[in-house]
A and B are shown apart, each in its own frame.
Chain A
Amino acid sequence: MYVWEFAALKPYWGLIWQGLLVTVFYTVTTVAAGLVIGLIVGILRTTAPRWIAVPLRLYIEIFRCTPLLVQLVWMYYALPVLIGVDMSPAMACFIALSLYAGSFYAEIFRGGIEAVDVGQWEAGRAIGMRRGKIFRRIVLPQATQVMIPSFINQTIMQLKNTSLVSVVAVGDLLYQGSVITAASYRPLEVYTTIAVLYFVVLFPLTLVADRVELRMGAHR
């Protein structure tokens, strides 16, 4: 019978806390950057001419159809060689995670925008509204309602995906876990704690998601 010894982690709480902050930091910043990219790319894909829309489609497919781990490693090892700039692991991770999130958010935005009935655009035009205003006031709010569940799912995935940055030695929660394991020889306690921490952060988010979904559905 294994004897759990969580007390052995006591000296390492500072490191774990640091790791958690890094994980949350990467999630928040790359979700924010990904949303900006996704909104712009998503809108352009629904409205822009082909010569813009096609390259954007290519970007989306490349990032959706290669593993994030490969993207991270590629950004870290290959991109600096190609463009001749040194890139810190932190920067490479930020770029890869943002572009990755952006590609998924772009598809969510596009899907949401296209799900809005063309009759809504026409009704806006018929009362004399201009295109931008119809988009902001009529289409986007409705698209957002459709998008929210997928958006929250993707954001939860994004937080979990940040664990991959540990591969290029960025000190996130998982990376600190491996450091602490090496020092304490307590892998069970360490990785159990880390799993619990991910869960504690994410579970409330799923509850919020359910709430939002319910409320959004209220006046349908």
Chain B
Amino acid sequence: MSALIASNIHKAFGDHEVLKGVSLDVARGEVVTLIGASGSGKSTFLRCLNLLEMPQQGELAIGTHQFAFGRGVRPAGDAQLALLRRSVGMVFQHFNLFPHMSVLRNITEGPVQVKGMAQAEADALGRDLLAKVGLADKADAFPSRLSGGQKQRVAIARALAMKPEVMLFDEPTSALDPELVGEVLAVIRSLASEGMTMVLVTHEMTFAADVSTRVGFMNDGIMAEIGTPEETIRQPRSERLKSFLSRFHETH
């Protein structure tokens, strides 16, 4: 059963065609990792999955939410988009925590303001999630007092608080000092083992190989190769992917 189906997604910024018809079908419980060179369109594609970017052509189905894009199709309104995003969590490279709110309030903001949950109930949920990401003692701290790894774990808890059907991660560890990468990956790994459906963009190749059900290689606005980690990372078919991987191993 599919948790997410994106078909033939096109996106251009002005004259610059960034996505040239990308499709992806993610089964429930799958972890799909996207790899590819800088500028190949990974982030843009990921952002099309919760419609932070609006595709110009194609279709998107997540749970009961269905969208079609293109000429003659009425664009989705703010309300419809908000509804979709309730069920799709996103974690950003630069965390984007709300700096004027405590850690706990960061997490309860969505449930309370979007779903209308009572604050007390949301607080309990928030504390559970903080415990789960190993930050039970930081509920009342402000984001500025946290390390990068802690911030990212709060950001994950904030997304989980909406009880999403799918989680999107855009290079969640790229802004972190190397010694803090592990703690964030551990949280993502535990989500994977609980069966959370995830799409993530990462340069942590070993982690990707380990945790993913499939790895997709994006190149020049298309999904050039996609398969099991074994297939994509260990037995690349195209020259492009081979040279990407060898360049990658040289620099990492």
Which A residues fall within an 8 A CB radius of B?
A: 117, 119-120, 122-123, 125-131, 133, 137-138, 141-142, 145, 219-220
Q: Which residues of B contact A126 (CB under 8 A)?
A: 50, 52, 85, 88-90, 92, 159
Complex Cα–Cα for A185 and B94 (A)? 68
Q: How large is the interface on B (under 10, 10 to 19, 20 to 34, 35 or more residues)?
A: 20 to 34
Chain B residue, CB-CB nearest to A120? B96
Measured between C-beta atoms, what is the minimum distance from B50 to chain A in Å? Answer: 6
Chain A residue, CB-CB nearest to B111? A127
In chain B between 97 and 144, which residues have their CB closer than 8 angstroms to a CB of chain A? 97-100, 109-110, 113-114, 142, 144
B1 proximal to A (CB < 8 A): no
Measured between C-beta atoms, what is the minimum distance from A133 to chain B in Å? Answer: 6
Partner of A142, one of B88, B89, B99: B99
B83 proximal to A (CB < 8 A): yes
28 interchain pairs (CB within 8 A)? A117-B96, A119-B94, A119-B96, A123-B97, A123-B158, A125-B81, A125-B82, A126-B52, A126-B85, A126-B88, A126-B89, A126-B90, A126-B92, A127-B86, A127-B89, A127-B109, A127-B158, A128-B110, A128-B162, A129-B109, A130-B78, A130-B79, A131-B78, A133-B113, A138-B98, A219-B100, A219-B142, A219-B144
Which B residues fall within an 8 A CB radius of A?
A: 50, 52, 78-79, 81-83, 85-86, 88-90, 92, 94, 96-100, 109-110, 113-114, 142, 144-145, 158-159, 161-162
Measured between C-beta atoms, what is the minimum distance from A140 to chain B in Å? Answer: 10
Q: Which residues of A contact B109 (CB under 8 A)?
A: 127, 129, 137
Partner of B82, one of A120, A122, A129, A145: A129
Q: Which residues of A contact B144 (CB under 8 A)?
A: 219-220
Complex Cα–Cα for A219 and B82 (A)? 30
The reply to whether A130 and B50 contact each other, CB–CB distance below 8 Å, is no
Measured between C-beta atoms, what is the minimum distance from A73 to chain B in Å? Answer: 43
Partner of A127, one of B79, B94, B114: B114
Residue from the set A119, A126, A220 with the largest chain B CB neighbour count within 10 Å: A126
Question: Closest 6 A-B residue pairs measured CB to CB?
Answer: A127-B110, A123-B96, A128-B86, A119-B96, A219-B142, A126-B90
Chain B residue, CB-CB nearest to A127? B110
The reply to whether B113 and A120 contact each other, CB–CB distance below 8 Å, is no
Chain A residue, CB-CB nearest to B161? A127
Measured between C-beta atoms, what is the minimum distance from B174 to chain A in Å? Answer: 14
The reply to whether B82 and A128 contact each other, CB–CB distance below 8 Å, is yes
- List 7 additional A-B contacts (Cβ < 8 Å) besides A126-B92, A129-B110: A119-B92, A123-B92, A125-B85, A127-B159, A127-B161, A129-B82, A220-B144
Partner of B99, one of A127, A128, A129, A220: A220
Q: Which residues of A contact B96 (CB under 8 A)?
A: 117, 119-120, 122-123
The reply to whether A123 and B98 contact each other, CB–CB distance below 8 Å, is yes
Chain B residue, CB-CB nearest to A144? B100
Complex Cα–Cα for A124 and B162 (A)? 12
The reply to whether A130 and B100 contact each other, CB–CB distance below 8 Å, is no
Measured between C-beta atoms, what is the minimum distance from B57 to chain A in Å? Answer: 22
Complex Cα–Cα for A50 and B85 (A)? 29
Chain A residue, CB-CB nearest to B114? A128
The reply to whether A120 and B114 contact each other, CB–CB distance below 8 Å, is no
Complex Cα–Cα for A138 and B249 (A)? 41
Chain A residue, CB-CB nearest to B115? A128
Q: Which residues of A contact B97 (CB under 8 A)?
A: 123
Complex Cα–Cα for A64 and B244 (A)? 56
Chain A residue, CB-CB nearest to B93? A119
Complex Cα–Cα for A125 and B81 (A)? 9
Q: Which residues of B contact A133 (CB under 8 A)?
A: 113
Q: Which residues of B contact A142 (CB under 8 A)?
A: 99-100
The reply to whether A129 and B113 contact each other, CB–CB distance below 8 Å, is yes
Complex Cα–Cα for A219 and B159 (A)? 23
The reply to whether B85 and A145 contact each other, CB–CB distance below 8 Å, is no
Chain A residue, CB-CB nearest to B97? A123
Measured between C-beta atoms, what is the minimum distance from B99 to chain A in Å? Answer: 7
Q: Which residues of A contact B78 (CB under 8 A)?
A: 130-131
Residue from the set A117, A120, A127 with the largest chain B CB neighbour count within 10 Å: A127
Complex Cα–Cα for A133 and B116 (A)? 13
Complex Cα–Cα for A137 and B96 (A)? 15
